[in-house]
Amino acid sequence: MNDLTRYNMHAGQRGWLRGFALLAMVSAVGPALAAPITAVVNGSFEETAGVDKLDPYAIHNAAGWTDLTVGIPIQAGSTTAGGPKGNYDRIAADQVTGSRYMRLVSDGLTNYGGVAQNLGTMEAGKTYTLMADVLVGNEPGITPGRWSASLQSDIAAAPTVYATATSGALAAGAYSPAGLTVSYTATAADAGKPLWLKYGVVPHAAVAHRGGIDNVRLSDEVPASPPAAAASQLTQSAPAAGQPAAAPDPLAKGVQAGFYTPGRTGGIWDNWACYHEGKFYLYYVAGPPGKDDPRIPPGYLKDWNSFGLATSDDGVHWKEYGTIAKCREKTTMGSGHIWKSPNFAKDGTWIMNYSEFFGEGEDYWSHVPNFCGQNIIFLTSTDLLHWSKVDESLRFNVDVRWFDEKGRWDCMDVLPRADGSLYAYFTACPTPGKVAYKTCWAVGCAESKDGLKWQVLPPIAGDTAGEVGGIEMIGQKYYLTIGPGLIHRAERPEGPFLAQQKNPNLLGNDGDVYFSRFFHSAPGGPLVNHFYTNGTAYAAPFKAIEIDPEGTMRLKWWPGNDTLKEREVALALATNASDAAFVRLLEPAFNLEATYVVEGSLTLPENEDPSGFFFDGGGGTGQAVLFTRQGTRFGPARLDGVDPNTLPLLNRDLEFGPEVKVRLVMRKDMLETYMNDHLMTLKRVNWNGRMGVIGQTGHKNVRDLKVWTQQ
């Protein structure tokens, strides 16, 4: 097993650590392992057994970990000069994760504690990426800790720091899966040197930090921050060939199941997808939710001014790749989409569009009274990872013959034509009176032979109103998605595009989701993607498309999402639940950080007797989703009852019989519901993780209830 190294750290000797707790991989002076690095031994840091203090150098778990705590006593209630303050007791097993915490002490002056492990010897050219989950104590008065990951060369002498990544401060009680990631590619000079993993807390206040890391593991992920690039040029997140991987971005997240939001760029908005040679690519407009978002440290993006990328092997489990493109300074990046060059068989080129705002006061357009308009420029790639901006001569500008010079020119999607050329549909503002027919508001059209040089066509006829999401030809009809999920269709690509009379909104008019778009290249045929708003934005799981004999489009469960069902969760009625109760709560509670799939069979009464699920908000209140033969109802409810008629009905213009299969997909406050695989409600729910079954008094109308989550 690993040799142990014991030491005390002093802030004066380790000035490079000040302000952070540290998880570090180090090539060290000291005993080395003969074996190359292949795994992490005993990959958890946990709390020691003492209730009054942390014993210096106590071993955690088993051979391999060394406690480096200086043993400062925990003082109850009051403070002493240079000593910790607050009332901190031992923490038992964490209720959410089942993991235990390690208590780390800082006196606010010179001393702090830590642990270390010798991982083995490095091999030249090999990349070592370690990830860990972060946990923070949840007692009142606990000062949230700051946790970091670093690569360095020593634990006793002045170290060489290869890379550092910080997860930032977490609120008391927080749990962050894969909250720490650190990566280093060994050079020829590193060959045979030992590598150390180190974790500690640094004196920045006279407090005891309670928390720890769990599930430390080697990963095949190679995170890297993008290098700087010139204005109007894209950036690449992969390191140059033969160079060490850059430090992972401190905001980057680990693999996310079903619902995806980036950590590295702080936010996601419009997104679009591509599938090629067994890999899924999710591109998105990136930036923080607000310019003053406190989560974003100095130097990070302050506006929607870049494109980000996440990749997946199954279209469900997403890894953040990083930034792939940035717009000019003092402007904002509009939405994009992706398509193949008409000459793809020969040049293998992919094309992506983005828009930029221009003119006086270039800034986020909705905050600029003298907004001066937009235009569109393009990127190209042959590997879907590294993108290059095309020449400025190919910038696609507003055609004032039909469109407002200072209007929108954004959100472009393309439709292949039989001769190999392309139509484009995009957000634009036709000038009233320029044509004699009723035009689609905010829809422009153009054509191109190469996908880069575009000729504007007269405005499209129809009755649309909103931003263009995407265009797709299915069968002999053309379907155009607009803004919040509206769907219009036409018999010809020139229109007129008229609102679908049945199921006119694919997403449901709920206001918590936006921008349905076509995923053209999905395996097995096109899918639809969209995202959640009204909170931290997340890209939603993909949806399948159904076209009924009348040509009506509806969204359904995509079978690929079945990979969310990795591990079945044992679920039972709470011990005090009875058939007579309006809500029969289930045990255990759900972990809101995880993604869950709930499936079951329901018997639906002919009347409006409620059947469905209750989401507990505490104090006897919550929200409910009810299933009826006409559709779903969603809204506020109480543990002791709800009047279904007070909740709005979402009707997909479908009639359901007395027996239906239902499915719920949940993560955090996001909820998706399905009836017989048809998409129904999409909502954000205010709940605490407790869910219950709503059914007829004395009648078990919910059967075969099963729940799955991730491993």
> Rounded to whole angstroms, what are the CA distances from 188 to 28, 29, 118, 185?
16, 18, 20, 10
Predicted pLDDT at 171: 54
Predicted pLDDT at 341: 97
Q: How far apart are CA 497 and CA 427, in angstroms?
A: 14
Cα 391 → chain centroid: 33
Predicted pLDDT at 110: 40
Predicted pLDDT at 193: 80
Predicted pLDDT at 265: 58
Task: Specify the residue for token string 């009347």.
Answer: 607
Task: Specify the residue for token string 């503002």.
Answer: 429
Listed in sequence order, the residues at least 6 apart from 482 whose beta carbon sits closer than 8 Å to its beta carbon are 464, 465, 466, 467, 468, 469, 488
| Closest to 642 measured CA to CA, from 670, 614, 602, 674 | 614
> Rounded to whole angstroms, what are the CA distances from 616 to 82, 320, 624, 681?
45, 32, 9, 18
> Rounded to whole angstroms, what are the CA distances from 331 to 248, 359, 363, 373?
27, 9, 5, 11
Q: Which residues of 190-201 are buried (b: 16+ CB within 10 A; e: fewer)?
A: beeebbbbbbbb
Q: Is the dihedral of CA 255, 260, 265, 270 positive or negative?
A: positive
Helices (H), 210-257: none
Predicted pLDDT at 454: 98
Q: How far apart are CA 499 and CA 88, in angstroms?
A: 62
| Prediction pTM value | 0.66
SS3 269: strand
Residue 530 · residue 679 · CB < 8 Å: no
| Closest to 318 measured CA to CA, from 685, 534, 564 | 564
Predicted pLDDT at 243: 38
Q: How far apart are CA 586 and CA 410, in angstroms?
A: 47
Listed in sequence order, the residues at least 6 apart from 256 whose beta carbon sits closer than 8 Å to its beta carbon are 317, 318
Residue 108 · residue 81 · CB < 8 Å: no
SS3 592: coil
Predicted pLDDT at 109: 39
Q: How far apart are CA 311 and CA 306, in angstroms?
A: 17
Q: Are strands 22-26 and 146-152 parallel, antiparallel or unpaired?
A: parallel
> Rounded to whole angstroms, what are the CA distances from 393 to 18, 378, 396, 403, 407?
50, 11, 9, 21, 21
484 prior amide bond cis, ω within 30: no
φ, ψ of residue 175 in degrees (nearest 5) = -135, 125
Predicted pLDDT at 696: 58
Provide the token pair at 553: 């489009």
Residue 528 · residue 679 · CB < 8 Å: no
Q: How far apart are CA 442 and CA 461, in angstroms?
A: 11
Considering only the C-alpha atoms of the chain, give the largest distance between any 2 of them, rounded to a whole number of Å: 84
Provide the token pair at 79: 């403070």
Q: How far apart are CA 632 and CA 508, in angstroms?
A: 11
Query: What secondary structure does DSSP assign to 491-537, as a single string?
Result: SSTT--BEE-SSS-BSS-S-SSEEEEEEETT-TTS-EEEEEE-SSS-
Average pLDDT of adjacent 10-residue blocks, the chain of 711 residues: 23 23 37 52 40 30 31 29 27 35 42 56 80 54 50 56 54 56 79 70 42 60 34 29 39 78 78 97 80 46 78 95 84 91 96 83 42 86 95 94 90 96 95 86 94 96 93 97 95 95 91 94 97 90 97 98 94 71 88 94 83 92 94 93 89 93 96 98 94 70 88 76
SS3 475: coil
Cβ burial of 161 (10 Å; 0-12, 13-18, 19+) is: middle
Residue 182 · residue 163 · CB < 8 Å: yes
